[in-house]
């Protein structure tokens, strides 16, 4: 029951649409979409799926699914941006006991909030949209497509997430079995200083075996070596 209610945190209600239209919100011409994308991956990608950002979390609503219908019905990006800004400033609280699970108010503020809203409005629910080509070859693309950079720093992937361990620091010296275990069973050997239960537990089911192999090889070959990426394949 709580799970189904939790997924309604950011449901695009009629009231939110009306508020956005009433304010006459226009897409910010000075918004930095690249900054918005980076902030989304860091701040929002741990809870939301968004194809262009390569984030796949399901704590909160899938934003592609949430915006697809509105976009298909003719909702323009100015209004979608207004809806997003409204949800950032005043997210829907579903249960006072779930303070660590529902979205806090003003997760980003000011210009950063405008940047995130403009970015989301430009990509959420766009048919066939995909993340840009990632550095590091096939393994780097698997890393990007599964949203790993939203939580982890890895210079070879050009990511700087801080939710999880810095992979450039923790992976060197590990073998393939250890790295694979940290992906498919992250609670087996948790890294000190990071809370349990944050990393998804279902990557073994979500990542095809051939992609998992590419990902492990990419991490082994590149972690701790800066931006000098290898092929990510055997």
Q: Is residue 180 part of a domain?
A: yes
CB of 232 within 8 A of CB of 140?
yes
Q: Is 90 exceeded by the pLDDT of residue 201?
A: no
Structure token pair of residue 202 = 């279902």
Which pLDDT value is given to residue 101?
A: 57
- Global pTM reads 0.60
Residue 115: pLDDT band (50, 70, 90) is: very high
| Mean pLDDT on 135-155 | 90
Q: Is residue 24 part of a domain?
A: yes
Q: Is 50 exceeded by the pLDDT of residue 58?
A: yes
Residue 135: pLDDT band (50, 70, 90) is: very high
Residue 196 neighbours by CB distance under 10 Å: 8
Pairing mode of beta strands 153-154, 49-50: unpaired
3-state secondary structure of 111: helix
Pick from 16, 105, 24, 104: nearest CA to 66:
16
CA atoms of 155 and 160, how far apart (whole Å): 8
Q: Is 60 exceeded by the pLDDT of residue 172?
A: yes
Given 123, 145, 179, which residue is the final one in a domain? 123
CB-based burial, 120-156: b 16+ in 10 Å, e otherwise? bbbbbbeeeeebeebbbbbbbbbbbbbbbbbbbbbbb
Q: Is residue 132 part of a domain?
A: no
Provide the CATH number for the domain around residue 14: 1.10.760.10
pLDDT, averaged across the chain:
81
- Helix ranges (H only) for 154-227 are 167-170, 176-184, 203-206, 209-222
Same domain, yes or no: 87 and 151: no
Residue 47: pLDDT band (50, 70, 90) is: confident
Same domain, yes or no: 117 and 142: no
Q: What residues make up the domain containing 103?
A: 2-123
Same domain, yes or no: 40 and 85: yes
Structure token pair of residue 28 = 């910010």
Residue 10: pLDDT band (50, 70, 90) is: very low
Residue 2: pLDDT band (50, 70, 90) is: very low
Q: Is 80 exceeded by the pLDDT of residue 141?
A: yes
Pick from 40, 34, 38: nearest CA to 10:
40
Residue 14: pLDDT band (50, 70, 90) is: very low
Per-residue pLDDT tens over the stretch 173-184:
999 999 999 999
- For residue 231, is it left (φ>0), alpha (ψ between -120 and 50) or beta? alpha
Which pLDDT value is given to residue 15?
A: 38
Residue 227: pLDDT band (50, 70, 90) is: low
């Amino acid at each position: 029951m709580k799970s189904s209610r939790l997924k309604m945190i950011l449901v695009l209600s009629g009231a939110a649409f009306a508020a956005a239209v009433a304010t006459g919100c226009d897409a910010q011409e000075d918004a930095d979409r690249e900054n918005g994308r980076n902030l989304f991956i860091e701040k929002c990608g741990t809870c939301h799926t968004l194809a262009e950002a390569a984030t796949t979390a399901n704590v909160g609503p899938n934003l592609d699914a949430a915006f697809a219908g509105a976009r298909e019905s003719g909702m323009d990006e100015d209004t979608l941006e207004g809806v997003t800004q409204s949800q950032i400033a005043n997210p829907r609280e579903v249960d006072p006991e779930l303070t660590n699970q529902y979205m806090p108010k003003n997760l980003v503020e000011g210009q950063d909030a405008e940047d995130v809203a403009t970015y989301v409005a430009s990509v959420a629910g766009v048919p066939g949209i995909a993340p840009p080509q990632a550095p590091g070859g096939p393994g780097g693309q698997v890393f990007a497509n599964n949203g790993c950079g939203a939580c982890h720093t890895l210079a070879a992937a050009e990511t700087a997430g801080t939710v999880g361990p810095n992979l450039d620091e923790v992976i060197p010296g590990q073998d393939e079995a250890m790295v694979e275990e940290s992906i498919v069973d992250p609670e087996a050997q948790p890294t000190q200083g990071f809370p349990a239960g944050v990393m998804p537990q279902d990557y073994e089911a979500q990542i095809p075996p051939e992609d998992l192999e590419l990902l492990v090889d990419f991490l082994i070959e590149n972690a701790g070596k800066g931006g000098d990426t290898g092929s990510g394949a055997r």
